Amino acid sequence: MIKYYGADPEYSLQGKTAIITGGAAGIGYATAEFFVKKGANVVLADLNPKVDAIAKGLGASNIGVAGNITVGADRQAVLDAAVKAFGQVDILINCAGIVALESAEIISEEYWDRTIEINLKSSFMMAQLVGKYFIDNEVGGSIVNMASQAGVIALDKHVAYCASKGAIIAMTKVMAMEWGKYGIRVNAVSPTVVLTELGHKAWDGPVGDAFKLEMPSERFAEPDEIAGVIAFLCSGAAAMITGHNLLIDGGFTIK
């Protein structure tokens, strides 16, 4: 059963420990930064060998674990490091992911497999690992999976990406259904283009300007806007929200 501890107008994460994959940059880093401001301890998992220094930059007690979440031993090392450092894990944020921009008729099997492995399979395996930890230790918890507006609508040259993100949304619903009885909430967030460093590189210019004109917001999202929504979903204020895919798309998908 998912417990309710009363309204929390501060949406506090005080004392919670969150594992954030892909945490050294982009949305993952913005989420870590937001979580620390809300009182959480963060454990950043990333391929970047400097991830521990990046985590320490958010506060001396935070840690980073360098590794590849497509590898089971590396996933286990992240969970073990989190428990060792903070005694308990309360939250998992699956942010690690890639984009392979190829049309359906020419995308290679290698690109397809790599996209599905990193975006979908690794998110599932990490969620399974942490979910089993929550169940075995009877601690409940919250998981947020990074999906995308591309999991809800079709985008040109995004066939593998759309497939992986749509599957993440379906996966999220099943986990929420199965694990609610253990006090575990599982949700997904689906952003539009986010102006991370990579977002700027890909979308600054005429193509991005034209895309924005198709959006009611007429702009793309900032990383901290996504982080704020993720923090809300992990807070006590969202205790009755599970199995939900929350679109953060400036209204792009309403048409």
DSSP string, 109-165: HHHHHHHIIIIIIHHHHHHHHHHHHHHHHT--EEEEEE--GGGTS--TTBHHHHHHH
pLDDT of residue 158: 93
46 is a domain residue:
yes
117 is a domain residue:
yes
Q: Which long-range contacts (CB under 8 A, 24 or more apart) does 165-169 make?
A: 165/119, 165/190, 167/116, 167/120, 168/119, 168/120, 168/123, 169/245
Q: CB–CB of 204/232 below 8 Å? A: no
What angle is formed at CA 177 by the lines to CA 123 and CA 247, rounded to 5 degrees? Answer: 60
Average pLDDT over residues 174-193: 97
- Counting DSSP H helices and E strands in the chain, the numbers are 9, 7
pLDDT of residue 109: 95
Residue 185 three-state SS: strand
What angle is formed at CA 95 by the lines to CA 10 and CA 71, rounded to 5 degrees? Answer: 135
2 is a domain residue:
no
Determine whether 29 is an active site residue.
no
pLDDT of residue 5: 81
Q: Cα–Cα distance between 74 and 76 in angstroms, integer?
A: 5
77 is a domain residue:
yes
Percent above pLDDT 70 for the chain: 100
Q: Would the pTM of this model clear 0.85, i.e. be above it? A: yes
For 207, the token pair is 């193509």
**Tens digit of each residue's pLDDT (9 = 90 or more) over 46-70:** 999 999 999 999 999 999 999 999 9
Domain with residue 145: its CATH number is 3.40.50.720
Average pLDDT over residues 198-226: 91
211 is a domain residue:
no
Instruction: Write out the residue range of the structural domain in which residue 80 sits.
Output: 17-193+222-248
Neighbouring residues of 165: CB distance < 8 A, sequence distance ≥ 6: 119, 147, 148, 150, 151, 190
With residue 178 as reference, give the H or E element that holds it. helix 159-179
Active-site choice (4, 133, 161, 182): 161
242 is a domain residue:
yes
141 is a domain residue:
yes
**Tens digit of each residue's pLDDT (9 = 90 or more) over 242-252:** 999 999 999 99
What's the total number of domains in the chain?
1
Residue 248 three-state SS: strand
